[in-house]
């Protein structure tokens, strides 16, 4: 590696070395409690998939360049030179980590391996060694923000073509647009993913709840966050912040995309609008009687997969269960419980990287498959498109014989008007704990 490149990367390291990161780099006691916490290692027991091992690569570079002992006694401190081989190792550990943070809840020091992997990803971005596919997708999102006029006409035509499918789920009053766009002064800006699946059910639910809402021109997913590139993460996020400010909305509702929700919620800063997940919004509508659902439309035992970025990392744990108490006659909680839930294996940009990661995603999520099958559920509901894709791939690969659904589509399909009976007595459902799977 050229010395100038190394100097640039070390500068990047130094400038982004937060106090928390330093603490994590200096406190690992090598107790090994994180070994079985990672779904990758639990499914494929190899040294490189242990959370502490992943962090160790970054730690050794830190020892070499930022600690006196590492500079003078590299052997003693296991310091590591930042070179092409080290970058290759960083790639392997960072892009086999989904950022689920399950290891963090088991670590006695609360070491955040995801945060340490963000440094690994940053160095890869600095060296232009990040995954090409994610880089391309991030650049396309940024370009769309710069030249919206070019995309607007096709976008509006596409949205128009979805209107009849929204009306099939919920008939709105005459004169009201089933999918309002660019509404100045709307209460809600709904930020979807590209594709009908994240637009149609949400539109029906907002209309049924009588909300004054508008659809964002931009898709919620933030490929910059998957890349671990703070600059591109910011640019992608700012398209949405600017739109929300221009329309003067009171609330930004993030679609069922864990990373999008987490980035919007945690990185938007102080704004004149609040950020919530559509899961929180749906739970509120049911709680306040703004929408009603008929539970008899959902047949079969149901379980719920907590998306890591929404539940463990985003704090939205009770709301999906509140919704499912209205929807499911037989809801079966997975075990271990949500804070310790196994990751589906598709996060951290792995699903977005497509076929390239398919084999790894299938092998590394075997524990997730076991966890789902132990419930005996026939329907697996989740609230993240990424998780939905990964769970669908797992369903095919392992022939699980379950149906994978998104929460919003379950709610939209069960909507009932005031003339219909809403069977929403949450007390009548069956709740079962499945056998606890040891961590």
Residues at the site binding ligand SF4, with contacts judged by CB under 6 A:
28-34, 37-38, 40, 51-52, 54, 97-103, 107, 109, 111, 113-114, 343
What SS3 class is residue 333? strand
Q: What is the rounded distance in angstroms from the CA atom of residue 416 to the CA atom of residue 293? A: 5
Q: Least distance from C-beta 27 to ligand SF4, angstroms?
A: 7
Residue 116 CB burial class (10 angstroms; 0-12, 13-18, ≥19):
buried
The total of other beta-carbon atoms located within 10 Å of residue 330's CB is 18
Q: Which residue has the tokens 């704990």?
A: 433
Between 54 and 295, CB nearer to ligand SF4 = 54
Q: Least distance from C-beta 334 to ligand SF4, angstroms?
A: 17
Q: What is the rounded distance in angstroms from the CA atom of residue 37 to the CA atom of residue 35? A: 6
Q: Least distance from C-beta 29 to ligand SF4, angstroms?
A: 5
Q: Least distance from C-beta 174 to ligand SF4, angstroms?
A: 50
Between 99 and 201, CB nearer to ligand SF4 = 99
The total of other beta-carbon atoms located within 10 Å of residue 428's CB is 10
What token pair was written down for 148?
Answer: 């919206």
Q: Least distance from C-beta 35 to ligand SF4, angstroms?
A: 7
Q: Least distance from C-beta 262 to ligand SF4, angstroms?
A: 13
The strand pairing partners of 431, in sequence order, are 331
What SS3 class is residue 282? helix
What SS3 class is residue 44? coil
Cβ atoms of residues 58 and 119 within 8 Å: yes
| DSSP 8-state class, residue 434 | P
**Phi/psi class of residue 341: alpha, beta or left (left: φ > 0; alpha: ψ in -120 to 50)?**
beta
Chain mean position to CA 123: 23
Between 159 and 350, CB nearer to ligand SF4 = 350
Between 113 and 386, CB nearer to ligand SF4 = 113
Between 117 and 379, CB nearer to ligand SF4 = 117
Between 56 and 243, CB nearer to ligand SF4 = 56
Cβ atoms of residues 307 and 382 within 8 Å: yes
The edge-to-edge listing of strands for the beta sheet with 188-191 is 213-215, 188-191, 251-254, 274-277
Cβ atoms of residues 159 and 199 within 8 Å: yes
Between 100 and 362, CB nearer to ligand SF4 = 100
Element (H, E) at 406: strand 403-406
Q: What is the rounded distance in angstroms from the CA atom of residue 48 to the CA atom of residue 54? A: 6
Q: Least distance from C-beta 269 to ligand SF4, angstroms?
A: 25
Instruction: For CA atoms 352, 353, 358, 364, give the dihedral sign.
Output: negative
Q: What is the rounded distance in angstroms from the CA atom of residue 439 to the CA atom of residue 376? A: 20
Q: Least distance from C-beta 234 to ligand SF4, angstroms?
A: 23
Q: Least distance from C-beta 278 to ligand SF4, angstroms?
A: 25
Between 365 and 402, CB nearer to ligand SF4 = 365
Between 98 and 233, CB nearer to ligand SF4 = 98
Q: Least distance from C-beta 30 to ligand SF4, angstroms?
A: 5
Between 126 and 347, CB nearer to ligand SF4 = 347
Q: Least distance from C-beta 104 to ligand SF4, angstroms?
A: 7
Q: What is the rounded distance in angstroms from the CA atom of residue 277 to the CA atom of residue 282? A: 9
Beta strand segments in 306-393, E: 330-333, 379-382
Between 56 and 219, CB nearer to ligand SF4 = 56
Between 362 and 379, CB nearer to ligand SF4 = 362
Q: Least distance from C-beta 93 to ligand SF4, angstroms?
A: 8
Helices marked H in 188-337: 200-208, 223-227, 230-247, 258-267, 278-287, 318-327
């Amino acid at each position: 590696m050229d010395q100038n490149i190394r100097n640039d990367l070390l500068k990047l390291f130094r400038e982004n070395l937060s106090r928390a990161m330093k603490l994590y780099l200096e406190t690992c006691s090598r107790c090994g409690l994180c070994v079985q916490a990672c779904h990758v290692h639990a499914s494929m027991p190899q040294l490189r998939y242990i959370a502490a091992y992943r962090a160790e690569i970054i730690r050794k570079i830190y020892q070499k360049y930022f600690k006196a002992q590492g500079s003078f006694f590299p052997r003693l401190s296991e310091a590591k030179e930042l070179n092409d081989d080290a970058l290759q190792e960083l790639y392997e550990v960072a892009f086999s980590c989904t950022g689920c943070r399950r290891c963090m809840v088991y670590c006695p020091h609360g070491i955040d391996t995801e945060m340490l992997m963000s440094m690994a990803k940053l160095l890869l971005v600095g060296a232009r060694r990040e995954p090409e596919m994610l880089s391309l997708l991030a650049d396309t999102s940024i370009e769309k923000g710069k030249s919206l006029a070019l995309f607007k006409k096709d976008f509006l035509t596409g949205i128009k073509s979805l209107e009849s499918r929204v009306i099939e789920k919920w008939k709105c009053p005459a004169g009201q647009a089933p999918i309002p766009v660019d509404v100045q002064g709307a209460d809600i800006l709904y930020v979807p993913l590209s594709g009908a699946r994240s637009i149609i059910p949400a539109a029906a639910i907002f209309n049924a709840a009588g909300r004054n809402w508008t659809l964002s021109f931009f898709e919620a997913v933030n490929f910059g966050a998957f890349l671990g590139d703070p600059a591109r993460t910011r640019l992608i996020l700012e398209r949405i912040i600017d739109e929300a400010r221009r329309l003067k909305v009171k609330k930004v509702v993030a679609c069922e995309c864990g990373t999008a929700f987490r980035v919007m919620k945690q990185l938007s800063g102080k704004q004149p609008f609040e950020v919530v997940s559509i899961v929180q919004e749906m739970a509120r509508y049911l709680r306040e009687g703004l929408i009603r659902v008929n539970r008899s439309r959902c047949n079969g035992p149901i379980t719920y997969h907590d998306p890591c970025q929404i539940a463990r990392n985003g704090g939205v744990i009770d709301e999906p269960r509140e919704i499912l108490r209205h929807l499911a006659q037989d809801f079966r909680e997975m075990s271990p419980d949500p804070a310790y839930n196994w990751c589906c294996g598709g996060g951290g940009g792995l699903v977005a990287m497509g076929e390239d990661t398919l084999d790894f995603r299938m092998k590394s999520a075997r524990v997730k498959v076991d966890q789902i099958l132990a419930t005996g559920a026939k329907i697996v509901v989740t609230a993240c498109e990424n998780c939905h894709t990964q769970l669908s791939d797992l369903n095919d690969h392992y022939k699980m014989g379950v149906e994978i659904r998104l929460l919003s589509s379950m709610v939209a399909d069960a909507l009932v008007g005031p003339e219909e009976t809403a069977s929403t007595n949450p007390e009548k459902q069956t709740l079962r704990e499945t056998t606890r799977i040891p961590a």
